Structures are given as structure tokens and as C-alpha cells.
Amino acid sequence: MLHDVFARVGGPSVEMTTVDTMVKINSGNVIIDGNWLWRADHDVDGIVADSRNPVKTGLEVNGDNVIGYGLACEHTLGNLLEWNGENGRVYFYQSELPYDVDHTYGDNGFAGYVVNDDV
């Protein structure tokens, strides 16, 4: 079980924070519930802009038979969720695309939920 996890990259301070992937699941037979993975879209100075607090991916699932019941990924600068495992299921998913990107975000093929072509 991976439940009630809140991950936030960036925070109330204006200091720069960076991470490649917030949560990576490499094991199989995992149940995800009540997880919120958030690249902060504001700090004490207001809206976060110019790709500050960069995060590539909120969640990467590599294990098989992973089930998500409550999952939110928000504002990452790459794919919000990347699913690479077999036989996975998601019953509730919320995503918010980043506010501080331009057309190149879509031109690069980034999306809110990506299932690997080999799955």
C-alpha cells in the first residue's frame, strides 16, 4: 500500500527546488490511494513561473498489477504520470497541467497520463 502521501516540490519559500520524479513504483501488486503529487504552483511571492521548481514527472509506475484508487499529479514540466507496468488500473485520477509553459509543452508530446506503447 502507498496511501495518504503528499509530495510537494517547491514551497512557501522562494528558494529553488528540483527533482526528476516525485514517486517511482518499481514493485508489483501495489495499491495507491489518497496520493497528491504536486509541483507547487505558488509560493509566498505568488504564482510560480518560468519553470521554477522543475519536476519532470509526478508518478512513474514500473511494476505490474498496480492499482490506483485516489491519485493526483499536478503541474510537472514533463508527463505528469508515466505508466510502464502491465495489468494496471486507475479508478480516480486528477491532473492539472502546468501554468507556466508555452506551446512547446504540447509540441514535445507531454501529457497528463501516458501509458507506454509496450504496455
Read off the pLDDT of residues 37-92 as tens digits, 9 standing for 90 and up. 999 887 777 777 777 888 999 999 999 999 999 999 999 999 999 999 999 999 99
Q: Is residue 66 part of a domain?
A: yes
Quick one: average pLDDT of 14-18?
A: 74
What is the count of structural domains for the chain? 1
- Per the structure, the complete domain to which residue 93 belongs is given by 2-106
Q: Is residue 111 part of a domain?
A: no
Dihedral of CA atoms 44, 7, 4, 80 in degrees, nearest 10, equals 110
Say what the pLDDT of residue 14 is.
61
Catalytic entry in 60, 74, 86, 96:
96
pTM of this structure: 0.92
pLDDT band at residue 108 using 50, 70 and 90 as cut-offs:
very high
- Residue 74 known to be catalytic: no
Q: Is residue 98 part of a domain?
A: yes
Question: Which DSSP helix (H) or strand (E) runs through 110?
Answer: none
Q: Is residue 96 part of a domain?
A: yes
Residue 17 pLDDT exceeds 90: no
Q: Is residue 28 part of a domain?
A: yes
pLDDT band at residue 26 using 50, 70 and 90 as cut-offs:
very high
* Average of per-residue pLDDT values in the chain: 92
Q: Is residue 114 part of a domain?
A: no
